[in-house]
Structure 1
Amino acid sequence: MVKIVSSVAELIGDTPIIKLSSVVPEGFADVYLKLEAFNVGGSVKDRIALNMIETAEEDGILKPGDTIVEPTSGNTGVGLAMLAAAKGYKSVFVMPDTMSIERRLLLSAYGAELVLTPGAEGMPAAIAKAREIAAQPGHFLPLQFENPANPAIHETTTGPEIIAAFGGVGPDAFLSAVGTGGTITGVGRALRKANPAVGIYALEPSESAVLSGGQKGPHKIQGIGTGFIPQVLDTAVFDGVFQVSSEEAFAMTRRLAKEEGILVGISSGAAVAGAIALAGQLGAGKSVVTIAPDNGERYLSTPVFQN
């Protein structure tokens, strides 16, 4: 039944889950992909954008006429810009200049101001610049990397949605590509409450394997592998870490479009590649769920689809 809503905020959450077929080898566990592009703003980050804003409003930190400032690799900025426009706030976003042109254009379309920092300096440079801008009066810095409202919304919405889809118990395993760490932290906590035996696994770029104790480095998987361990990431929630190279992520992203008819972003390709590796370890009869943070239309100008 079609519902009528009064705000874009009401169109966030309850995203579908699809069982993959063609890209998963025979004899592997079943792999399921939660399609977060079905959120109204087009990504998983709509969830945290809404919760960070509404929590700040309730706490009296964000007031009418204020400006929202956030360092972002793109999707959180898009979610915040969308909601800022809907709620009447101004917005400024700081982003590494290596992020896709589609993300920049989306932010501008919502009326946001965009500040670019050197891509070689990664997210730490964007965070520092955002803090500088947000120091002005009337500016609010949600700071997704440190804000507890980030993992909290995944614990209360994303995780329970997965649990409900799997009969109230949840899948055998869950894998999430890690950017801020909010998704794996929140979903992991929710899944473990429903089933203490569930396996929770993080995924990171092999070129920047910080979670595995390695060194940060350049990679091409936009949205994950920040090069540091974010404050909101609870490393105790996951049982292990998988690594995927940028080229492996690119290859799976292309395969999902051409073999499954699912056009998703590069971090989704990375997540599916990791989930299939995990599915191979678990074997037939088991289930693995992973997250597709956004869709592929935000990456059409990038090398992943320039072939």
Structure 2
Amino acid sequence: MKLILPIEVADEIKPHLPNDTTFVRADVDGNIDGDATDAEVYFSWLYYIKPTTLQKVLESAPKLRWHQATNAGVNNILTPQYLEREIVLTNGAGLHAIPIAEFVITYILSYAKNFQKLHELQAQKSWQRGLINEELQDKTLLIIGAGGIGQEIAKRAKAFGLNIYGSRRHPQPLLNFDKVVGANEWKALLGEANYVVIATPLTKETKGLIDAEIFSLMRPDAYLINIARGAIVDEPALIKALQTAKIAGAALDTVFTEPLPPESPLWTQPNIFITPHCSGHSPKTKERALSLFLDNFTRYYNDQPLRNIVNKDAGY
């Protein structure tokens, strides 16, 4: 059995492989250091897989049967060329959940405790008192997408006394959530939410989901936080909502075009917090990614059910 392994960790994986396996290495651009025509396993590493990278790998490995991705979102992987092949795709759901959840709490606290204004005052050497710092107790958090990441967010937010609502395609009671509703029912909860977090995958149904209608339903003191995919938010509608005070602010760890161009008006909007798609980064992510792959490879090798199989029709 032959594998295609990321050049970054291939040597770390090698000691854990059975003796009857071989491997070739692939870099971030999809260049492979050997013959992959008989490879049936592809492990892609902790970076956004470019279409050109994926195309190179697919063309080099016509017998590919299983692909382990480290991304939770796989919208960039499910290309027409990919979907033509009978490849089992497993994703990295759970690898990034803890650091992302901690980032969401950071975003929320930064707004509640006026961090932006306090940093400005420090830079001005101004000892200004009287700022209103909100408490999170009894505020309401709405998490659009109560999957693995959403549940880690709820776990941490509940400790601050927030009321927590969530949505998912198939609603069911979940630990730390006060209410879980169906895929479209969350819109009726926007009027109660002080913080709205986007944690849903990017699919045909969710592209442009957060639009002018959604901003009109949100509270004027509410904050939008996007740690999912930039294309879920209608950016012109967001800019207008910020400029007209339809909402109080937004935190974006992901945007439609990445890197965000210097000329983008998002950079200069009032009360917006932009981070460079880094909320999922953690020194522990590598350890989790290797552990997931090796566990799934053992399952694959022994013809056992794999973890994190992606439903290609649903897109996640």
Scaled by the length of structure 2, the TM-score of the pair is: 0.34
Larger radius of gyration: 2
Larger relative contact order (CA 8 Å, sep ≥ 6): 1
Scaled by the length of structure 1, the TM-score of the pair is: 0.35
